[in-house]
């Protein structure tokens, strides 16, 4: 810390080196320890608005039984998604961010009391529909999953690379629509691999059920890994 003399005051140089995400990351680390202690697998689902997160979750929740699943769903406004998902018979908490474009770890922590963690194998966090802002906010999850639908265009991974880089799995949703669109599947897959070499991609349709088995098996395998660490 060097100091220079001025008139009646001093100028000082301060080395700070503090990260803007540090407050969020502290809460996320606390959440992660709590989930690990209970052996709960936590998935953070991120996509653009309208890519079919909620529709896919409706099918997923119905078919994951006997695994015990809960959902925290983030939206800028309304409880509509939570109401849809509650019809699947699982505990759902809605996080209304009132303008904020992403979920933060503190929002997850303050809504956790609404789901009973003692009776849980999987917690799915459905983030606010947005491909940019949520990607940098750690929520204490094990894995991020990015969804991109066939109607969105093949260049999504190139335009929004950070989330494709950070996510473990990409779900190509609305796969049933592909034959009706000018959709170049190979190009989308190439673009995903350009951003995240070796990224796992599953093609699914919530409407026809196409590919759902592979997605459900992927979740079950991750639950098994998490619980084997827990024991």
- Spatial neighbors of 5 by CB under 8 A, at least 6 apart, are none
Query: Which of 58, 193, 201, 227: binder of another protein (CB under 8 A)?
Result: 193
From candidates 36, 96, 133, 216, binder to another protein by CB under 8 A: 133
Check residue 169 and give left, alpha or beta (phi > 0: left; psi -120 to 50: alpha): beta
Closest contact distance (angstroms) between CB of 13 and another protein is 6
Q: Binding segment for another protein among 20-28, 37-45, 54-62, 143-151 (CB under 8 A)?
A: 20-28
Q: Compare residues 23 and 221 and give the one whose CB is closer to another protein.
A: 23
Evaluate whether 214 touches 183 at the Cβ level (below 8 Å).
no
Separation between Cα atoms, residue 2 and residue 47, nearest integer Å: 47
Among 29, 37, 162, 214, binds another protein (CB under 8 A): 162
Segment near another protein (CB under 8 A); pick from 18-26, 33-41, 47-55, 173-181 = 18-26
Ranges within 61-120 binding another protein (CB under 8 A): 100-102, 104
Residue 222: CB atoms within 10 A of its CB come to 18
Establish if 165 lies at the interface with another protein (CB under 8 A): yes
Q: Least separation, in Å, of the C-beta of 217 and another protein?
A: 26
Quick one: CA dihedral 22, 74, 155, 187, positive or negative?
positive
The answer to whether 117 and 108 are in contact (CB under 8 A) is no
Residue 101 per-residue DSSP state: S
21 lines the binding site for another protein (CB under 8 A)? yes
Q: Is the dihedral of CA 189, 191, 196, 198 positive or negative?
A: positive
161 binds another protein, rule: CB under 8 A:
yes
Tokens 């799915």 belong to residue: 124
For another protein, the closer of residues 67 and 101 by Cβ is: 101
Residues 202 and 224: their CA atoms lie apart, in Å, by 19
Pick 121 or 126: Cβ nearer another protein: 126
Q: What's the min distance (Å) between Cβ of 152 and another protein?
A: 18
Give the footprint of another protein on this chain (CB under 8 A). Answer: 1, 6, 8-23, 100-102, 104, 130, 132-137, 158, 161-162, 165, 193-198
């Amino acid at each position: 810390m060097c100091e220079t003399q001025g008139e009646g005051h001093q100028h000082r140089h301060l080395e700070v080196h503090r990260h803007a995400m540090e407050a969020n990351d502290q809460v996320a680390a606390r959440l992660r320890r709590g989930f690990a202690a209970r052996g709960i697998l936590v998935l953070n689902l991120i996509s653009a608005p309208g890519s079919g997160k909620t529709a896919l979750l409706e099918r997923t929740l119905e078919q994951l039984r006997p695994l015990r699943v809960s959902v925290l769903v983030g939206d800028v406004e309304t409880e509509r998604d939570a109401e849809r998902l509650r019809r699947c018979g699982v505990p759902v908490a809605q996080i209304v961010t009132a303008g904020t474009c992403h979920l933060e770890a503190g929002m997850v922590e303050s809504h956790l009391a609404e789901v009973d963690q003692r009776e849980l194998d999987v917690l799915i966090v459905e983030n606010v529909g947005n491909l940019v802002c949520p990607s940098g906010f750690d929520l204490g999850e094990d894995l991020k999953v990015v969804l991109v639908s066939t109607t969105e265009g093949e260049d999504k991974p190139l335009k929004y690379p950070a989330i494709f880089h950070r996510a473990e799995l990409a779900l190509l949703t609305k796969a049933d629509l592909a034959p009706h669109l000018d959709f170049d599947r190979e190009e989308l897959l190439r673009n995903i691999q350009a951003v995240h070499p070796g990224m796992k991609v599953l093609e699914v349709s919530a409407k026809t059920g196409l590919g759902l088995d592979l997605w459900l098996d992927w979740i079950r395998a991750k639950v098994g890994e998490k619980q084997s660490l827990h024991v």
